[in-house]
Amino acid sequence: MKQTDTICAVSTPPGVGGIAVVRLSGSRSQEIAQHLLRSLSGKPVRLTDHKACHAQLFDGDAFVDDVVALFFAAPRSFTGDDVVELSCHGSVYVQQRVLMVLCREGARLAEPGEFTMRAFMNGKLNLSQAEAVADLIDSRTEVAHQLAVSQLRGGYAAELEVLRQQFIDMAALLELELDFTEEDLEFASRQNIRDMVAGLRAKVQGLVDSFAMGNALKHGIPVAIIGAPNVGKSSLLNALLNDDRAIVSSVAGTTRDTIEETMTIGGILFRFIDTAGLHESSDDVEQQGIQRSLKAAEMAKVIILVVDASRPDKDAPLFSSDAKSHNNLLNDKIVVTVYNKSDLVNADIAGGLMVSAKEGRGIQELRSKVLREVESRLPEGDGVMLTNVRHLEAMHHVLEALGEVDKGLDAGVTPDLLTVDIRDALYHLGTITGKITSEEVLTSIFSRFCIGK
């Protein structure tokens, strides 16, 4: 991607619409646009910074479309370069004709993510903020939007900067000792250094641990509906979705594969997964369905454990302490026990939520219960969560570097060797915000963007 080129692309979604926005960015943006635009009276147009202009766009002497042109002079633009945005009619033909004319005048088609990459290269965004642009565009729920906005506004980068400064302070104390090696001075006791390392490890580990929930919030919280055959799991899925999504039958074992549907509750996207009943079976097809159920349960963040309220003692052993293979599925997960078919019994059962998928009783309470349990795992206030796999990998490297510092302290190594590992941790922190990066990393990140973003 040549940073000196003037680039263009359609920045609105592909297809037909009332309006489409074609964006130019680069030093020749104003010149190219002005050469193609004429006022409604046919006079040349002079674009003024941050002012909209209603004009006509021509291809030579051929009229193309009425447009609204908006000019943003560098550096007060998204990319930091001169930018012109042309709002034209949303005809696919018009969009392509405008791009063709712009390219004929000296612009070139933008690569995926090139506008955002220029914003990063020009210091308008750090790298984590640039990645948040893609997350913001892809956000489908209120919570996913909030996570992306928090990162875009720099809250995440600010948290990393605090961590980075603590690493720098620790390295500075050790490097200061190197200047006074002959005096054998120790500016921080090794116990103090250990305490600093422990504090940093706790903060980094907290960020690493937040990824499981952060990534699930970004893509949808997986909720596995599990239980014995014929307890009403499929009926419960249909009731939760208000839709006949799964086949329901009185015959046990109707569901032999997983069925997944999404639903937004309280601004959070949930992926509800209906599964085959868990039981002993010699049938090969049923065994495959059960294995898929177990896999879905392993991947889930929330498990809705469905028990038939009319026969609770029969279903309970599936997840007793003796049933180790199934019981382990519930470890480290949010588990909501549901007693379905409550319309068949006269009394509530302790330790679970009474529902009737058939009559719709208790369904809203179940949705609210699942939402409350997930919200209880979210960080308070403006707490930061990892949602990006690349950032998770970098944080793992930071933890490894801190482990090496601890080993060095145990071995009594000299300060210069300790600072090598601290600098390694700083390097990996820098790869997240873009203070330290490479062309390969940038290409990988921005190639995932849509063209025009």
Interval 402-452: pLDDT, tens? 999 999 988 988 888 888 999 999 999 988 887 766 676 677 777 777 777
Write the DSSP string, 208-244.
Answer: HHHHHHHHHHHH-EEEEEEESTTSSHHHHHHHHHTS-
Query: Among residues of the chain, what percentage have pLDDT more than 70?
Result: 85
2: Cβ contacts below 8 Å, ≥ 6 apart:
none
Report the CATH architecture of 133-215+388-434.
Answer: Up-down Bundle (1.20)
Res 298: pLDDT: 85
* Parallel, antiparallel or unpaired: strands 37-38 and 62-72: unpaired
Question: Which parts of 205-332 are beta strand (E)?
Answer: 221-227, 259-265, 268-274, 302-308
Distance CA 240, CA 261 (A): 10
Res 323: pLDDT: 45
Q: Would you say 22 and 95 are in contact if contact means Cβ atoms under 8 Å apart?
A: yes
Distance CA 426, CA 403 (A): 14
Distance CA 55, CA 52 (A): 10
Res 150: pLDDT: 80
Res 6: pLDDT: 96
Structure-token pair, residue 49: 């910074």
Residue with tokens 């949010």: 334
Res 382: pLDDT: 59
3-state secondary structure of 347: coil
How many C-beta neighbours within 10 Å does residue 363 have? Answer: 20
Which range is least confidently modeled, 9-13, 72-76, 240-244? 240-244
Which range is least confidently modeled, 69-83, 139-153, 374-388, 436-450? 436-450
Distance CA 336, CA 334 (A): 7
**In DSSP terms, which residues pair with 307 in a beta bridge?**
339
What is the dihedral angle through the alpha carbons of 146, 147, 150, 153, rounded to the nearest 10 degrees?
Answer: -100
For the chain, which residues make up each domain, given as ranges? 7-125, 133-215+388-434, 220-375
Mean pLDDT of the chain: 84
* Parallel, antiparallel or unpaired: strands 7-10 and 353-354: unpaired
Distance CA 144, CA 121 (A): 26
Distance CA 192, CA 84 (A): 55
38: Cβ contacts below 8 Å, ≥ 6 apart:
44, 45, 55, 56, 58
**In DSSP terms, which residues pair with 268 in a beta bridge?**
265
- Please give the average per-residue pLDDT across 399-403, as a whole number: 95
Write the DSSP string, 349-389.
Answer: -TTSEE-BTTTTBTHHHHHHHHHHHHHTTSPSTT------H
Structure-token pair, residue 233: 């799991």
Res 328: pLDDT: 65
Q: Which CATH superfamily does the domain covering 7-125 fall into?
A: Probable tRNA modification gtpase trme; domain 1 (3.30.1360.120)
CATH of domain 220-375: 3.40.50.300
pTM of the model: 0.72
Residue with tokens 């599990």: 226
Query: Among residues of the chain, what percentage have pLDDT more than 90?
Result: 43
